[in-house]
Structure formats: C-alpha cells, structure tokens
Structure 1
Amino acid sequence: MATVRSDELYRTHPLRAMLAELGWLPSVSVVPLGALADAELAALLAGQHGAPVPRAVVRAIARRSGGNPFFAEQLWVAQADQQAGGPPVEVADVLLHRVDQLGPHAHRVLRAASLARGRIEHDLLVEVLDRDEEALTTGVRECTDAQLFEPTPDGSAYIFRHTLLAEAIATDLVPAERRALHARYADVLAGTAPAAVVARHSLGAGDLADAFAWSVDAAQEASAVAAPHDALAQWERVLELWPHATIGDQARVGGKHEVALAASRAANQSGDPRRAAALARTALGEAMTPRDRALARLALAPLLTPLVTGRQDEEIGVAELALQDAEDSADPALVADARFVLARAYLLGGRFADAARLADGAASSGDDAVALGARATAYLARCQLGDVDPAVATSLAEDARTCPDAETALWVLTRIADWWWPTDPARAEPIARAAYACATEQGVRSSVRGMWARETLTLCQWLTGRWDAIEDRMTTDPLAVNDATAGIVALECEVDIARDRLDRARRRLDLAAKVTTDVLNQLFAATATADLNLAAGDPAAAAACTLEALADPPPQTGFVDFEAILAARGMMALAEAHDDGTQLDAAPAVLAAADRVLARAEREPDPRLTAIPLSAIKAHRSRLDGGDPELWRAAITLRHGQPFEIAKCRFFLAQALSASGATADTAAAKAELDLAAATFRELGASRFLASADSLRTSR
C-alpha cells in the first residue's frame, strides 16, 4: 500500500507519470480520497469535542480547511484554545513550505491575492498589481501548476485551493507591504465592491476616515438584509473609529448615541444580551435629549430582566426613567412604547396590578405591534391575579403569528407559552413552536428572544415527551454553549441524562456552568446537574449542587419557581441516599430548604407554579419513612400531560407499595411498574427502564 498527496504534485512532477502508469495495471487499485464533506467534518469534530459542534462552526472550519482532516483538527484545537489571528503555526509551516519553492512572479501574485479573501477576478489582480499581462500570467501559471490556485470554470478568476494558505501568506506579509496592497485594493474597489470589503481594505491601509465611512455603509447594508452579526461588527468598528471620522460623516449617522443604539440592537439580535446592555448604556451616556435618553433606556430595560440578572427592580427602575423621558419628549408614540416596556417590567417584577393598569393604557396605541404587546401583557398580568381566560390566550397567539414585528410577536408567543407550560404543557407546546417558527422565519433565531423561544419550546417538549424533536434540533441546529444558550443546553442535557448519555451531558453542563452569568440559565444548569449526579449514583453531589444554587434565593418571576424545583431535587437526593443506607451530611440544610419552600407556599400560595414541586418534596420526604403511596398518587394526578414525570412517580409509587409486603399492594405495585416501564421504553429512557427492571427483579 502506498499513499501520495496528489494536491502537492506540480504539473511536471515525476510521480505524476509513475502514478499514471500504475493506474493501468490490473493488480493496482487506486482509491482517491477527496475532501471531507460538511457532514463528515461535523462527525470528525464531534468525536474530537465529545458533543455535536454548532453548524456555523463546522461551516467556518470547512471553509478554512478545505475539508482537510488535519487542518480541520488543528483549527478546532486553535478555536478551543481561543487562538486569534492566522492559521495555527503547525498548519502555516506546512503551507508556506510549498510557497517557498516558487519563483518571484508567483510570490507577488500570491501576496496580492492573499488579501482578497475568496474568489479574486483576473482583471482585479491586474489592476492591484499594476503589472504587465505577461508577468502576471507567468506568476498565475506557476501558482496553478503548483496546485495552490484553481481557476474558475470560465477562467476569469482564481480561488485558493486552501483558504488557510491565503491566511498564512497574508499573515507572513511585512506591515508596509500589507498596507500598500490594502490601499491599492481600496482604491480599485471603491464604488464597485460591497461596502464591507472596501471598509476592510481601508482599515488595513490605515486610512481610518475612509474606513469609518465605508463601515457605516457596511453596517447599514448588513442591517437591511437581517445579518445582525455582521451589522454588530461594523457598528462596533464605527464606534472605534469615531475620533477619526470627519464631522460630516459623524453627522450622517445622527450622532454617536445612534450608532451605539444600532449596535445594541444588533448585539441583541445576535444573542449577546451582555454586549447589548453595555452598548445601550453607551448610547445613554451619549444621549443629549429626552427622546434620545428614552430610546436608549427602552433598549436597555428589557436586557435587565430579573430572568437574566436575578435582580427584581433594576429593569423597573430603568423603564420608569424611560417613561419620564418619553413624556418629556412629548411624543405620543414613544410614550405608548415606554408604557408597554414598563408594563412588561412590572409583570416580570411581580407587580401584576401595576402591569395590568399600565398595559391597558398602552393598548390603545396607534402602533399595532405596541397595542398587541400591551394587550398580551395586560392579559398575563390578570392571569397572575386569577383572571384566566384560555380563549383570550388563543386570540392573542393568533394575532402574534401574523404580527410583522418579530420582537413583539416573540414576546407575546413565548410569554403565553410560559404561562401555560407548568399546568398544561400540551397547550403550551404549539404556541412555543409558533414562537420558534416566527424567530426562524424573521431571521432572529439567534437573538435573545429567539433563544428564549427555543428554550420554552425545548422545555415544553421535554415535559410532553417529544424528546426526539429536541434531539432533531440538537443534530440539525446544534448550539454553541454560551451565556445566551446555556439554559437550552441544560434542557437538552436532560434528554441525554434520561437516555444514559452521562459523559456528554457532563461535558456540556460543565461548560454551561462556566460560561453563563444569566441567572435563569444558571438555575436550569444547576437543576440538570443535580439530575446528572443522581443518575450517576452520587446523591451527595446532587444535594451539594442544589444547596449551592439555593444559597441566593432565586428570583420569583411568576413563570418558574426554581426554589421549589431545586428543593425537590435536594429531597430526592436525601431519599436516594436513604435507600442506599446512607445519611448525607447535607441532610439538615436540605430539609431546612424544603421547609422554607413549604412555609412560603403556605404564606403565598401559587398552585400553578408550586403544586408539582411541592408534591415532589412531600413524596420524596415520605421515602425517609418508607414511602406514602397516597402522596405519590397525588403527584401523578398533578402531572397532567407529563408522561416522563408521571412514569417516575409510578416507579416510586411501586417502590412504596412493594415495601408494605401486602399481596394486594404487591399486585398494584406490579401494575404501576409495568405502566412506568412502558413509558420509559417508549421515550428511550434507558436508565430509568433499567431501574424499573431492577425493582421488578428485587421484589
């Protein structure tokens, strides 16, 4: 067996003739190995990472590596190590060795082409190099013979065979040469190429005033085609270059506060709430009029929601100031928008009567999107006060599906789904699915609200047992683990845990815990980590995890009660240890946490959010004394539409019935265990199915 890298054989290489002759021999089989396809590359990187790699990352590595496995692996390592700049040194050395063997004409062509990024037109190369056709043709011929360039089918342009080769050559340029080439590109391309291309070359040439002007155009172009990541990069460049801009160009964008506000919106749409908040604060600091201050505060307030910060009053304080500024501006439309934003803040801050009152005032706005959002906010506030009308929810959801404003549509759909999932996840799921579809269709799937829509949909499908749908999204649209996605990742890990893929779940949860500062996402991750430790047979670690998360009382937002949920996980950890004959050191603290939740439920009853976790606390606590079948039967009744949770309760009910030893109870236990096992089998919950089989055998 022999191998050869055919892409390194220049046209007159002696091995070419030998390979051609060998190919005619009947005893020789030639097996060409092409570049890895994106799917193959995704599998390679997933094996190296231990979990699916986001599609955007796979595409970027595929583009840069050209499907070469070695290059792809090195790029993945460099990304994991957060290396910036050109290609990894190991890759650059391999690539530049081939360049060093070429002549001076080829070197000039390669150096100029390396800054073009992607396809480079022959005529453009002629203009940039300002050389005679014969010298250029000689250089291009040498590059194509060495298989560094590929001509396009019509022969009008060239493409580097490896994007990494262009990066390595560009990185190797001396600064003066790089600036001169960038300046030449900027001169030639001005007025014909996309603004982002000219902006990049102007910046590379050191012409900062021109780079500012072209970056403004590029940001506006990216915003117009719903490309928020590109828009954010360009707006942030505009902010960086602000001191170098002409007064006319600064005035053209309306002032620095307008740029910061546009950048904040782009960061929000890109799924980076922390950056969006920082940019909104920059806009506020630059604002000079009540109107400008109101707009900055209206952008900032939703980014300070207690769901993210854990602080109940911060969003409300900013939104109240925004309303004052809006009223000072004497702009009725801005006042209505400010009332809507403040009503939302009151809703999430638990001030439901204030939310309903203010939202009613904003609902008469002439802006259809503001009016819809205000009506939905008023409805949700009244639901919290006990006035629940499912027909109104259905009507609002239908209106939101046709609302052209994605931000408002996602607020309405996601929050209505959030209201219903604790008691009726089957009703909530299609609404959450509509929210995610809206985010996808409007091109804001990666925005903060788009991520919330996916999080709510994942939660609903976890509860309703549609785990395969969750896994389909994990495969077709895998998420990078970051501040905005950690909650979704934690919910996806619940499926991995139930299906006994503990190693992958642990890797992803460890990363989620490290990267997120979002309070709600931290709590999702803590809950999943407790479940992971229980699945791994480590109740002590599960108890410790819940106590750490409960050290600071979780915010009460009216949509999820994490204090009760985590206390139930802690009580389950005590019960699991008790079943193994172990007394946990954390037992007193866990029991105290459970007692606090029970006492709060007595003082401030909220059956919609607390009934299910309270039933779990009481039922698991009974396991310390042998188990109370009636508590488990009550828990089953509460878990309407949650097949996995019902099956787990049936398992513990069977355990409690078996402990009595009575013949009737033994028969009832077998029936409950059979029902639980059937659900576990249908869901693919292999770990729980094994536990059910073990209980059946032992009893």
Structure 2
Amino acid sequence: MLNHVETKSLSPVFVGRRPELDTLDTALTRATTDPQALLIGGEAGIGKTRLVEEFATTARRRGAIVALGGCVEIGADGLPFAPFSTALRQLRRELPGQLAAAADGQEEELARLLPELGTTAAAREARRDEQGMARLFELTARLLERVTAEHTVVLALEDLHWADASTRHLLSYLFRTLRTGRLVVLATYRSDDIHRRHPLRPLLAELDRLRTVQRIELGRLNREEVARQVAGIIAREPEPGRVDDIFERSDGNAFFVEELAVAADEGCRTGLTDSLRDLLLVRAEGLPESAQRVARIVAEGGSTVEDRLLAAVAGLGEDDLIEALRAAVNASILAPAPDRDGYRFRHSLVREAVSDDLLPGERSRLNRRYAEALEADPALVPADERVTRLASYWYHAHDAAKALPAVLDASVEARRRHAYSEQLGLLERAMELWDAVPDTVRATLRPLDYAEAYPPCGCDPETTPLRYLDLMAEAAVAGRLCGERERSLKITKRALRLLEEDPDPLRAAWFWVQRSRITQSLARGDGWAELGTAQALVRGLPPSEVHAEVLASAASWSMLHEPGPDAMAAAERAVEYARMVGAHDIELNARLTLGSLVVDAGDIDTGLTGMYEVKHGATELGVDMVLARAYVNLPSVLEGVGRSEEAAGLLQEGVHVTRRLGLLDSEGWVWGNLAESLHSLGRWDEAARAAASAHRLGQSAKPRAGGSVRLAHLAYDRGDMDEAARRRADARTFFGTHDPMPQYALPMTWVALGIAAAEDRLPDARAELLTTLDNGFPPGTQRYGWPLLLAATTAEADAHGDPATEPGRPEILGRIRKAAKTLATGVPVWQAHDAWLRAELLRAEGRTDPDAWSAAVAAFEPLERPFDLARVRFRLAEALLASGAGDDERARATELLRLVTVVAGHLGAVPLARLATLLGQRARLALAPARREPASADPAESLGLTSRERDVLRLVAAGHTNRRVAEELFISPKTASVHVSNILAKLGVAGRGEAAAVAHRLGLFPTTQTRERRGAGH
C-alpha cells in the first residue's frame, strides 16, 4: 500500500563502479555460450545491492530474465534454500510454461525448493533418503539448464553471509556442475563479516579454486565519486567543505555517504556524531513514537515481515499502522518488500542497529507475540517458512516448553527438504532445550514423528516417548549427510558414553557403525575396531535391521581390506538377515559385496551374474545408493578380470546415472574407474579427461585420489616422471595414512617403484617392492599384483651391471617368483601377465628367450590391451635380434617394431617409442613403411594386403578373435596372430578396433554385415 512512497536518501545517480559493471555486462554476453558464475564482495553499505540493481536493469533491457533472491536472517537460523525459493518463484512468474516443462516429472522433488510445484511423495518420506540432497541439487541444475536453453536468465542471490548451509551447498554444486544454458549466477556477500570461523569462508576458498568463478571486490568511493553521490542526493552541487567532511566521516562507504548527506542537508547535527551506530539510529529516533515502535517490531521479525503479521503483533488500528509505516518509509527507514505484501528495513545495517538497541525483555516479549500470532493464524506467513519461523520465535521468546516441539517440527521440515545442515542445527537446539522442558511435555513427543534414524529396539514407537538418544541418532546422521562429520562424531561419542550407563546393545551397535563410517571418512583410521565392537554387541541377538546393517558393513570393509572366507561368510549372513527382516536396500548392498568376493574366490561367472542382478534389482526398486555403487564396483571387477570394453561401456552408462542422481562422489568414482579401463584399452586422451573429471567432481578425498592415481599412471607411461610424482603425492595426501587399502596402496607403490627405476634408483625401487612383499598380496588383488611384480622385474632387468653378479638380484628375483605363485591365473589377462613375467624374469637373469616372449605376445594379442601388447612385442623384437638375427628374424623384428612405433606414437608413450627407435637404429632396420604405389581401384590392393590378409581382416572387422579366425580359415592361432600383426602394420593402426574402422571406412567388405564392437571407441 506504500509502494509509491519515495525514499529521498537514495541517490538517483549511479556513481562509479564502471569496471565492475563492465565485468557483469561481459558475463551476460558470454552467457550466450556458457553459464557464468560471479561473486560480489564488499563491506556493509559499500553498494553491492545497488550494483546488482543497475546490472539487472541493463540485463532486462538486453532481453534477459532477472530472478532475485535474498538470504533471510531469522534468529541466526536462516531458512533452508530461501534465496533459491524466492528466485525460482520469480522465474516461474516470468516463464511459467518453460519452468513447468523443465520440471515435468520431477515436481515432487523440486517442490522442496519451490512448494508451488506440488507436494513431496509420502513414499519418499518412509525411510532416510541419504541421496536425497544430491538428487535435489542435480535436478535443480538440470531445471536451470533446461529453462535457460532458449532464454538468458540472471539468477542473483544477495546477502550470502546469511545463507543457510543448504543454500551454500547448492550454490557450490551449481558453480561446479552447470555445463550448459544461457545463465548468469551471481551472489553478493559482506566481506567484513567473513571472520575466520564464518561458515561462508570455506565456500569462498573452494570457489576461488574454480577457474569458472569470477570474484568482484567492491572498494570504497573516492572523493570525486562521493561529491557526485552527494550532489545526486541533495539535487545541487554541494559545498566543497561539506564534501570533505562527508568523505572523511564516511571513508567512501556509499551507505554512510547517503546517511551523512541527508543528515547534513536537513540540519540534523545529531547525525554528525562520532558514532556511526548513532548515525544509523538518529533518523529512527526522529520518527513519531508509533513509527519507532513499528520499526522495533519489524527489526525483531526477521528480514521481511508480512503486512498482516505486523498488524497482528503491533496491535494498532489500521489507520494508525498505515501512518506509522508511512512515516518510517518516508524517512527511508523501512521499504515495501519487493516480493510480498510486507516491509523490510531499507538497509540491513539500520535493522541491526535498531534490533541491538532493544532491551532483552523487550526482545523476548516481541518474539512471544510473533509466535502467538502465528500459532493463532498460520496463514500469516508463507507455508514454506511457517515452522522455521515459529521455532525461531518461540526459542527467542525463551519458552522452552513451546520451543522444543516447534524446533523439532522445524527439524522434520528441514529433513523433508534435504536441508540436513539446518536439521542438524535445529536438533542441537532441541538437545539444548531438552532438560529445560517438563516431563509432561516430553511424554507427548513420539520417535515416529521426529526421528527417522531411530534404530529398532523392540519397543512400540506408538507408545514409547521420544528419548534424548533418538535426537542424538537423528543428529548424527544429519551431520554425516551434510558433511559436518566432526560434529557428528562428537554427538556419536557422547551417545556411546550415555549407553555405557544405560546399556542397549542394538542402539549401541548402530552408533558404533556410524562411528566407523565417520572415522573412515575423516581418515582417522580404517574403522574396523568400531565395526568389531558393533559385531560383538549384536552377536547372539535375534535378527534385526541393525544386525543386518552391522554384518553388511563388516563384509564391505573386509572386501576392501581383507577379502577372503571370513568376508564372504559375513556377506552371506548379511544377505540372510536382511531378507529375514525385509531390509531390501541392505540386502542388495550385501549381495553386491558378496558378488565381488565370489569373483575374488575364483568363481567369476557366478559372481558377475550376481552383481548384474543387483544392478537390475536396484534399478527396479529405486535404491539409488546401491545402484550408484553397482556402477562403481561391477565395472571395477570387470576391469580386474580383463573385460575392459564391457567395463567401459557400463561406466559410460554409470556417468549418466550418477549425474542424474546428483551423486558427485559416486560420479567421481565412476570417472576414475573409467579412466582405468580407457587406459587399458589404449584410449589415453579420453582416460586423462576421465581422470581429471574424477579429481574435479569428487567431494570427498578418496574419489579425488583415484583420479590422481590414474593421472600418475598416464604420466608415467608417457614418460613425464615429474608429473607422475606430483600426482602420486596428491593421491597420498587425499588417501591419508590411516587406511592403507590394497586397491589404493598397490597402485601407488607401482608408480613409486617405476619412478625410482626410471631415475636409476634401484635400491629405492627394491625397498618399495620388499615392503609390499612383506605384507603379501591379499586374495583378489592380482590385478594390482601382476603389474607390480612386472615393474620390479623390469627394473632389475634394465639395471646396469652383470645379472649374474648384481648384488641382491638373485634374492629379489626369488622373492618375485615366490610372490607370483600366490597370484591367481584364472582369466586370460592374468595368464598373459604370468607369461610376461616369466619372460621378464629370464631377461633379468641375462637370458634371451624368443619363445618366452612369443608366448607373451600370443597371450596379449586377443586382449585389446594395445600398450601391453606393444611392450611385449618390443621385447620379442629385441630377443629375436639378439638370438642370431637371421633374415627371417630380422624381418619379423622389423614388423614388430613398426607396430610398436605406431602404437607408441598413437598413445604418446614416449619412452617406448624412444626404445623402439633406438633398437631399430642399432640393428639398422628400416622401420618407416615403404612408399606405396599409386592407389589402384581395389583399396585392399592399394594397402598391400595379400589375399589371405584380406580374409583375416574381414573376420577381424566382424569382431572375431584370433582363435575364431583360425577356426574359420583352418590355420593355427599363431599364424592368425602373425597375419593380424602384419595387417595392423600395413594399415598403420594401433589395434583391432581401428583396423575394423579402416576396413568399414574404405568399404573393403560392402556385402558383409559386421557388428559394431562395443567400447572400441574408434
């Protein structure tokens, strides 16, 4: 009703800020191709809001949609996602059809941010949704990308220093993951409020590391700019002496310039006091008493107070209230709220000064009146703010009996919206209030209403009152889900101390499982001692969900640390118990663990079948966390048994699934595993990009470390030892030293050993090996064990000196042979490594055996591992040339080295390319392919392919292995292998997939229907 009242202290002239406005305008232009992200910082009153307003005007003039949202300060609690809800609400008003289409099918989830879209599904509320927040974040990102596909949108979030933790997490997610859309996201914050422990500080540090985020720091105005601002306010040129005085007093702060200019122009000498706080209060104190009273009421109601709520609390007649508001608005103290029927202070600094001036009793009385008014008429405030504001009002009214149920209701609402940080804060407030509340009030509270994390204990939740331990359990989970692991660990420890005084085995076991998870995530230990205590507590108890979860957690831990019969037995019991109690998600998780352990035990087909069944079951039941884990573990097991193409296909699918679910850590794991499979397949550039994605997207340490390990391997194979060492150091930092799992430790040892050998530090390489051999290779670690033994043997073979007399070498080689006997050889890739190691051991002993290297080459040829094949081919060529080198041997060595140089050049494997070139030069071999005659009408003839090679290539292009080629053409597999090698050399390609692609491109077999080789990628 007062929207047209002018505020004369606001300068009509926009002063300074030209470079900053140019930066924003440039970002708007660039947003047509890529999303833009900006942070605007500056002290209170410096002009952040005015800059955003000016930019918004420019953006609208250029056809952009502007959606503004402000962080809301309510009793220092904050409203979950408040700025995003406000901005999306505006976006919905501007583009209703487009936003509805973008949200289609996901309204129930997105309603947690924008309630107008619908209500959340009750089924989603039945059980703690651990992936809910991540899914909500991903859906929000995709919503914005769809809405901005055709419309440029500016999403501006103000006062980030008041942001709730969920808002900070969502903003971080958007800055890191937005990939498409014509979108500018900008946020403002008070830099002078960001003290060392301010919760915004870690986010700013994180965003500083993102090259996609621009930071703008607003400085103070200079004297000339102050003079122009004062002139705009008073509508005439000011006296130089007054400008000097205002400039000195304000120190160039735009808001203080306004206040001082108005005070001086109106002859208010009180405004020229030494206290800036007094300056902020002076015009409020000059208002009529009724207006001062209304200002005090608004100051305690939050950032914005609705008109009807204000009327209910003020107790004034309608006319009196309007006059009081008119006086406050005319004095530029209050202003109509832009997004609702209500009022706010024109500047938060004034509100803070008025609020600080309240007496303690006055503050609590005002909060009580707000709470009573809201209880009497809940429709006085927006529905999505009601419970949070009521909890804050009762808490600050110092009425514990009223505050506790209200705070618990607010915690449930925060959990429903996946705002786990706010839920944790509210639960901690509830624990603070607990002892101050009468028993009669606590007896009315039920676990089913407030505590999803409550572990079953055999009692009836309908009649059993809520207990303090229930709050602690809920808070422990909330802390873990929102990343506040230290707070969660502290709560868990305190709960276990209470359970020592009042024993409850199931509750205690549940808390010990939580403690194990948090300990591992904080890299404080491996978590086994905690799981051992949990197992001891449930041993002998009847089957329960807690019992099943304890067993499943123990089996999962053992799979990673100590795979073997005990781990398999635990997984089998976990599956059995979970089925008995109907815990389908625990059952699927345990079955996934069991499948991996069955593969480790040697029954590969059975184990993989079980894991595929879990993936399908998790998809059908919507158990997203198990599905994400399946896309991590199943391809990892496939890679371990040499089925790299199959693994890569699943992992590429897994990238889309985990991204759709919004699970950044799971997506990081998937990218890391994809990098490993692509590395094996010889797609190194793609592998590097995948590893970089793992490093970038992983929120916790271990997925990022996985990316670093893969980058270290690639750098080593390409000959960049400095980069390999740096990436390994990164991985060690991320992994920590408290949880040395073989899947992490062995690859890092491989890199360290290889670097030491490359730098002629044989003693260091031996030390790395011996430390590992002393610990032994656990079952299921042959995928890491074979390459490590090969690297150590190669280091010995390449070392200078006489193999027969080199000190320590016989002992080292003996240890390697003994260790190799413990590694499984049940699949072709392990058999190939076994043949390679046998040949390499002979070379380390100074013996040249072409037959041993021929066996290694034959073993690797059908495996689609071009780099490994090139390395053994190089050694075979070397052995052939060293064994007498007749014409036949020289011819074969020439063809082998040609293939090696082609593959090494394609991959960028500099050390291997250099070795092949040097060997060819020493043996005086012509490695460059002979110049071909002009192309004939027959492409195969122009390539120099014989009739038999054409037959072989036709079958290779159809996807057949060497053995199948041999069967079709009635030749031996070894002969087929030789033909394939010759074909690859003549085509100048690195592998069978590329050869098939060339054949199809040239139309060599137009009548043959060949199948596409999944995962070839060429």
Q: TM-score range by the shorter chain?
A: 0.5 to 0.7
| Cα displacement (A) at 1:493 | 1.6
Alignment of 1:444-463 (within 5 A): 444-446=663-665, 452-463=669-680
| Cα displacement (A) at 1:267 | 5.5
Partners of 2:745 and 2:350 lie apart in 1 by 45
Check if 1:102 corresponds to 2:258: yes
Task: Please say if residues 479 and 488 of structure 2, whose CA atoms lie closer than 8 Å, have aligned partners that are also in contact.
Answer: yes
Task: Please say if residues 612 and 638 of structure 1, whose CA atoms lie closer than 8 Å, have aligned partners that are also in contact.
Answer: yes
Task: Please say if residues 657 and 669 of structure 1, whose CA atoms lie closer than 8 Å, have aligned partners that are also in contact.
Answer: yes
| Cα displacement (A) at 1:103 | 0.8
Q: Which residue of 1 aligns with 2:740?
A: 519
Return closer, same or farther for 1:432/1:186 CA change in 2, 3 Å cut-off: farther
Task: Please say if residues 572 and 620 of structure 1, whose CA atoms lie closer than 8 Å, have aligned partners that are also in contact.
Answer: yes
Q: Which amino acid in 2 is paired with 1:553?
A: N
| Cα displacement (A) at 1:698 | 4.0
Partners of 1:15 and 1:310 lie apart in 2 by 55
Q: Which residue of 2 aligns with 1:147?
A: none
Task: Please say if residues 651 and 672 of structure 1, whose CA atoms lie closer than 8 Å, have aligned partners that are also in contact.
Answer: yes
Check if 1:672 corresponds to 2:896: yes
More helix by share: 1
Task: Please say if residues 340 and 374 of structure 1, whose CA atoms lie closer than 8 Å, have aligned partners that are also in contact.
Answer: yes
| Cα displacement (A) at 1:372 | 3.7
| Cα displacement (A) at 1:282 | 5.0
Offset from partner CA, 1:317-373 (integer Å, 9 cap, x none): 24532532xx53x45555555554455456553342634653563474344334444
Partners of 1:544 and 1:435 lie apart in 2 by 39
Task: Please say if residues 284 and 293 of structure 1, whose CA atoms lie closer than 8 Å, have aligned partners that are also in contact.
Answer: yes
Check if 1:368 corresponds to 2:584: yes
Task: Please say if residues 512 and 525 of structure 1, whose CA atoms lie closer than 8 Å, have aligned partners that are also in contact.
Answer: no
| Cα displacement (A) at 1:231 | 1.0
Check if 1:350 corresponds to 2:553: no
Offset from partner CA, 1:138-163 (integer Å, 9 cap, x none): 5489x9xxxxxx99699999999xxx
Partners of 1:478 and 1:179 lie apart in 2 by 50
1:79 to 161, 186, 205: 205
Partners of 2:16 and 2:218 lie apart in 1 by 25
Return closer, same or farther for 1:551/1:175 CA change in 2, 3 Å cut-off: farther
Alignment of 1:202-241 (within 5 A): 216-217=408-409, 219-225=411-417, 227=418, 230-232=419-421, 234-235=423-424, 238-239=427-428
| Cα displacement (A) at 1:238 | 3.0
Return closer, same or farther for 1:338/1:139 CA change in 2, 3 Å cut-off: same
What is the number of equivalent residue pairs in this alignment? 633
Q: Any gaps of 5 or more consecutive residues in structure 2? A: 1-9, 39-170, 179-183, 195-199, 210-214, 222-251, 263-278, 285-294, 315-320, 451-465, 923-1018
| Cα displacement (A) at 1:240 | 7.2
Task: Please say if residues 554 and 562 of structure 1, whose CA atoms lie closer than 8 Å, have aligned partners that are also in contact.
Answer: no
Return closer, same or farther for 1:653/1:491 CA change in 2, 3 Å cut-off: farther
Offset from partner CA, 1:241-273 (integer Å, 9 cap, x none): 623444457966444443443444455556788
The alignment partner of 1:478 has SS state of helix
Partners of 1:523 and 1:232 lie apart in 2 by 34
Offset from partner CA, 1:414-436 (integer Å, 9 cap, x none): 44433332122333344455555
The alignment partner of 2:702 has SS state of coil
The alignment partner of 1:556 has SS state of coil
The alignment partner of 1:132 has SS state of helix
Task: Please say if residues 905 and 913 of structure 2, whose CA atoms lie closer than 8 Å, have aligned partners that are also in contact.
Answer: no
| Cα displacement (A) at 1:441 | 4.1
Q: Which amino acid in 1 is paired with 2:412?
A: Q
| Cα displacement (A) at 1:235 | 1.9
Partners of 2:755 and 2:351 lie apart in 1 by 47
Alignment of 1:56-455 (within 5 A): 63-64=186-187, 79=205, 91=217, 94=220, 97-103=253-259, 132-136=325-329, 139=332, 176=356, 192=381, 194=385, 198=389, 216-217=408-409, 219-225=411-417, 227=418, 230-232=419-421, 234-235=423-424, 238-239=427-428, 242-245=431-434, 246-247=436-437, 248=441, 253=450, 254-266=466-478, 269=481, 282-287=494-499, 288-300=503-515, 314=529, 317-318=532-533, 320-324=535-539, 327-328=540-541, 330=542, 332-344=544-556, 347=559, 349-352=562-565, 354-355=569-570, 358=573, 361-362=576-577, 364-365=579-580, 366-389=582-605, 390-412=608-630, 414-423=632-641, 424-432=643-651, 437-446=656-665, 452-455=669-672
Check if 1:646 corresponds to 2:869: yes
Partners of 2:839 and 2:176 lie apart in 1 by 46
Using structure 2 for the length normalisation, give the TM-score: 0.48
Return closer, same or farther for 1:514/1:172 CA change in 2, 3 Å cut-off: farther
Task: Please say if residues 881 and 890 of structure 2, whose CA atoms lie closer than 8 Å, have aligned partners that are also in contact.
Answer: yes
Alignment of 1:477-492 (within 5 A): 478-479=696-697, 482-492=700-710
Work out the percentage of aligned pairs sharing the same amino acid. 17
Offset from partner CA, 1:496-519 (integer Å, 9 cap, x none): 625678777665543432243242
Q: Which residue of 2 aligns with 1:691?
A: 914
Task: Please say if residues 527 and 569 of structure 1, whose CA atoms lie closer than 8 Å, have aligned partners that are also in contact.
Answer: no
Partners of 2:185 and 2:772 lie apart in 1 by 43
Partners of 1:217 and 1:671 lie apart in 2 by 76
Q: Which residue of 2 aligns with 1:26?
A: none
How well do the aligned residues superpose, as a CA RMSD in angstroms? 6.3
Return closer, same or farther for 1:531/1:174 CA change in 2, 3 Å cut-off: farther
1:543 to 758, 762, 765: 765
Partners of 2:554 and 2:635 lie apart in 1 by 21
Task: Please say if residues 705 and 730 of structure 2, whose CA atoms lie closer than 8 Å, have aligned partners that are also in contact.
Answer: no
Offset from partner CA, 1:438-489 (integer Å, 9 cap, x none): 544444443xx66555544443343334552762684599236753334322
Offset from partner CA, 1:390-439 (integer Å, 9 cap, x none): 54444343223323223444455544433332122333344455555554
Return closer, same or farther for 1:220/1:134 CA change in 2, 3 Å cut-off: same
Return closer, same or farther for 1:182/1:276 CA change in 2, 3 Å cut-off: same
Q: Any gaps of 5 or more consecutive residues in structure 1? A: 1-8, 20-28, 43-52, 84-88, 144-149
Partners of 1:543 and 1:170 lie apart in 2 by 67
| Cα displacement (A) at 1:523 | 2.1
Task: Please say if residues 552 and 574 of structure 2, whose CA atoms lie closer than 8 Å, have aligned partners that are also in contact.
Answer: yes
Q: Which amino acid in 1 is paired with 2:680?
A: L
Q: Which amino acid in 2 is paired with 1:102?
A: E
The alignment partner of 1:295 has SS state of helix
Partners of 2:627 and 2:553 lie apart in 1 by 14
The alignment partner of 2:696 has SS state of coil
2:681 to 464, 471, 491: 464
Q: Which amino acid in 2 is paired with 1:320?
A: Q
Using structure 1 for the length normalisation, give the TM-score: 0.66
Partners of 1:596 and 1:431 lie apart in 2 by 38
Task: Please say if residues 310 and 519 of structure 1, whose CA atoms lie closer than 8 Å, have aligned partners that are also in contact.
Answer: no
Q: Which amino acid in 1 is paired with 2:898?
A: D
Q: Which amino acid in 1 is paired with 2:707?
A: V
Q: Which amino acid in 2 is paired with 1:238?
A: L
Return closer, same or farther for 1:98/1:404 CA change in 2, 3 Å cut-off: same
Task: Please say if residues 510 and 534 of structure 2, whose CA atoms lie closer than 8 Å, have aligned partners that are also in contact.
Answer: no
Q: Which residue of 2 aligns with 1:49?
A: none
Q: Which amino acid in 2 is paired with 1:526?
A: M
Partners of 1:391 and 1:503 lie apart in 2 by 42
Offset from partner CA, 1:8-59 (integer Å, 9 cap, x none): x96436889xx9xxxxxxxxx99964578675669xxxxxxxxxx9866658
Partners of 1:203 and 1:693 lie apart in 2 by 79
